[in-house]
Amino acid sequence: MRNYGYDEAGHTGSLSDIELWQKILRITSAYKYGLAGAVLLSFFITFATLSLPYLIQTGIDSFMMAKELPLPERLSGISNTALLYGTFVLALFFGGFGQIILLEWIGQSVMHSIRQTLFHKIVHLDLPFFSEQPTGRLVTRLTNDIQNMHEMFTSVIVSLFNDSLRLIGILGLLIWMNNKLGLLMCLFLPLSLIITTIFSRFARVKFRAMRNGVAKINTYLNEAISGAATIQIFGKEKLILERFRKINIEYQGHSLGQVKVFGAFMPLTEFLSSFAVALILWYGGGQVIQSKMSLGELVAFLSYMRLFFQPLRELSQKYSIVQAAMASAERIFELLETKQSITERQEHTVDTVISPVRGEIAFDKVNFSYSEESKVLHDINLHIKQGQTVALVGTTGAGKTSLINLLLRFYEPQQGTVTIDGNNVADFKTKELRSVVGVILQDIILLQDTLLANIVMNTGKSREDVEGILQATSMDRFVNKLPKGLDTLIGQGGQELSTGEKQLLSFARVLCRDPKILVLDEATAAIDTESENILEEALEQAFHGRTSLIIAHRLSTIRRADRIIVMAHGKIIEEGTHEELIAKEGRYFELSTMDQEQLYAPA
């Protein structure tokens, strides 16, 4: 089975992936001036930060310890130095504030763009992709993975530049101030880098396990919440809770493992920092006593050493953030680059404007399977004339819905052709194909809007057009019962509709598109008697002049069909009118008998 590159455990992220960095830079290219401004602020912030210890040294050596100077001059010098120090601190505040605002704006803008592009991609992917991808995993792409990238843009990329610049500046200043002590401190750099590298490797494994755990939790929660009714009906609450507890404990273990890694690294870094300070005090203190080094230099050295280890600690943490972001970026770009299994042809031979669709359908030697393991349709040959009403009958798994999926080109047959008016459905533009084939499904999605908006959708029909359709199909009886008629707010937070009312809405929605081919996929399976009566009248009008395909179990709908196709195990085993098939006493007769028994069985 294809996994489209979304195996969570397989992605660790690589900082050396040049191609991935190029993709990231491409999406940030629109904000290059903002990033340039952030880099310039980095130079300013680094300069101001590294100036502070030097000002302390100046205050100590030039004024506090300069006993040869007059007292007023020393006091004035200390005051001026303190004022300059305060100015630099204030400049650091505004520089840091400006950089944070700038980076947040860039990060939020980039993430908004990625999220919008990613959702657009997901919406336009074909059904084979969704049949193989858990919903929770796709939600993780749009939430956790994008958030990981946001953290990299806002708190890492320029911060890494800041920290690297600060490290280089500190090492240069240390060697310039006292080359022997500075070179001695340089010995801590390779040791710190080795510790950071080891930490990063351990952290990478823990971060990968945590991301995998988050994806598992999201997927499980989505399935459990969407199936809440089924869980409660069958009393599976304890089982579901126990499974979630195990997944949650597993994630907790990975999280604690990550905490342990950080718990070991942070004290070790602090130990190195304290050891370096002790070394400076031992060596530098001796230099001060021997008058080979000033007290101000020693204090400045200690300050620079504290600043030296701060970016090392942050670099190690941010390295893990970058690694997580790189893994997220890789998964996001793989999703964006996912190829459609159902592709548009470069040249479409069918123009529905020049040659309007009449509605003749043919399945010619069609073989189809969703996977290599089992074939769903076997050598299907079916011809439906223009304006004919055909019912597809069979038990669950017979292949009825698969025929509709091929007609709408949600999938393509492995062998054979599906044609409309003699034209292969692949020769139609997908949007045009699905506009000439109107489908009424059992599950209806409602928009949080008025009933009128839910019916019109993107067809551009006027209110008068909708009222005319409703009157012609007798569905105005359903609308007139609502508080505000077509202006009634439905969906979440609005008027609740029954299953039957939702089906009527769906039917009106399809008729607004005036399709030449009408498909009812179990549309009357779960509606009340009153709604069914209205729908029956509407169907009487809707079938006229249209080619209609009905997948249904209710005999009242099936009997109206010009032909009934009986399917079993992906094959057509019988066909004819209701009377002809009943007379044969074959499979259709058995299904009809069972339907009658269920209909009149005592409650």
CATH code of the domain covering residue 233: 1.20.1560.10
Q: What is the pLDDT, as a whole number, of residue 603?
A: 47
With left for phi above 0 and alpha for psi between -120 and 50, is residue 566 left, alpha or beta?
beta
- In this prediction, residues 91-114 reach a mean pLDDT of 89
Assess contact for 399 and 567: CB atoms under 8 A.
yes
Q: What is d(CA 305, CA 299) in angstroms, rounded to the nearest whole number?
A: 10
What is the model's pLDDT at position 599?
52
- Is 346 inside any structural domain? no
Sign of the alpha-carbon torsion through 346, 402, 518, 512: negative
**pLDDT band, residue 10 (cuts 50/70/90):** very low
Same domain, 424 and 287: no
Using one digit for the tens of pLDDT, what is the confidence trace for 304-326?
888 887 776 676 667 667 777 87
What pLDDT score does 415 carry?
92
- The two tokens of residue 303 are 């300050």
Same domain? For 369 and 310 the reply is no
Predicted confidence band of residue 360 (pLDDT cuts 50, 70, 90)? very high
Q: Which residues pair with 420 in a beta bridge?
A: 361, 423
Query: In the chain, what percentage of residues exceed pLDDT 70?
Result: 88
The predicted model gives 82-106 an average pLDDT of 91
Instruction: Please give the pLDDT value at position 126.
Output: 82
Among 13, 25, 34, 204, smallest CA distance to 103 is for: 34
Query: Is pLDDT above 90 for 85?
Result: yes
Q: State yes or no: pLDDT of 457 exceeds 70.
A: yes
Residue 99: inside a domain, yes or no?
yes
Question: Same structural domain for residues 221 and 303?
Answer: yes
- Segment 43-74, tens digit of pLDDT: 899 899 999 998 998 899 888 888 888 888 88
Q: What is the DSSP string of 214-236?
A: HHHHHHHHHHHHHTHHHHHHTT-
Q: From 284, 319, 336, give the residue that closes a domain.
A: 336
Please determine, for residue 296, whether its predicted confidence score (pLDDT) is greater than 50.
yes
Same domain, yes or no: 180 and 43: yes
Domain residues for the domain of 566 are 361-600
* 195 and 273 inside one domain: yes
How many domains, in total, are found in the chain? 2
Mean pLDDT calculated for residue range 197-207: 74
**Residue 348 pLDDT:** 59
Q: Is the pLDDT of residue 484 over 90?
A: no
Indicate which CATH number applies to the domain containing 508: 3.40.50.300
Cα–Cα dist 54/303, whole Å: 9
Say yes or no to pLDDT of 253 above 50.
yes
Average pLDDT over residues 528-550: 75
Identify the band that residue 554 occupies on the pLDDT scale cut at 50, 70 and 90: low
What is the rounded CA–CA span in Å between residue 560 and residue 389?
Answer: 8
d(CA 578, CA 583): 9
Of 269, 302, 336, which residue constitutes the final position of a domain?
336
Q: What is the mean pLDDT of the chain?
A: 81
Does 367 lie in the same domain as 228? Answer: no
Tell how strand 517-521 and strand 437-440 pair up. Answer: parallel
Nearest to 298 by CA among 315, 279, 316, 280: 280
Considering the domain boundaries, does residue 10 fall inside one?
A: no
pLDDT digits (tens, 9 = 90+) for 401-423: 899 999 988 888 999 999 999 88
* Helix H or strand E encompassing 50: helix 32-58
Same domain, 80 and 204: yes
Would 355 be classed as within a structural domain? no
For residue 6, pLDDT beyond 60 = no
Query: According to the model, what pLDDT value does residue 7 have?
Result: 41
The 563-568 sheet, strands edge to edge = 437-440, 517-521, 547-551, 389-393, 563-568, 571-576
Least confident of 170-179, 372-381, 523-532, 543-552: 523-532
Confidence of residue 94 (pLDDT cuts 50, 70, 90): very high
| Mean pLDDT for the stretch of residues 377-384 | 92
Instruction: Indicate whether 407 and 457 sit together in one domain.
Output: yes
Residues 419 and 270 in one domain: no
Least confident of 267-276, 384-393, 495-504: 495-504
For the cut 80, the answer to whether the pLDDT of residue 575 exceeds it is yes
CA 132: distance to chain centroid?
15
| Ordered DSSP codes for 464-499 | HHHHHHHHHTTTHHHHHTSTTGGG-BBSTTSB---H
pTM: 0.68
What pLDDT shows up at residue 5? 32
Question: Does 225 fall in a domain?
Answer: yes
Return the pLDDT at 527: 60
pLDDT at 1: 30
User: Which neighbouring-strand residues pair with 415?
Assistant: 367
Note the pLDDT tens digit of each residue in 263-273: 777 788 788 88
The SS3 of residue 196 is helix
Number of other CB atoms surrounding residue 506 within 10 Å? 24
Q: Is the pLDDT of residue 597 over 50?
A: yes
Work out the pLDDT band at 246, boundaries 50, 70, 90: very high
Q: For the chain, how many residues are written?
A: 603
Report the distance separating Cα 182 and Cα 179, nearest Å.
5
| 503 assigned to some structural domain | yes
- Residue 353 in domain: no
Report yes or no on 473 lying in a domain.
yes
If asked whether residues 491 and 426 sit together in one domain, one would say yes
- Of 284, 302, 336, the last residue of a domain is 336
| 418 phi and psi angles, rounded to 5 deg | -120, 125
Same domain, 64 and 150: yes
Residue 188 has pLDDT above 80, yes or no: no
Are 280 and 392 in a shared domain? no
pLDDT-derived band at 526, boundaries 50, 70, 90 = low
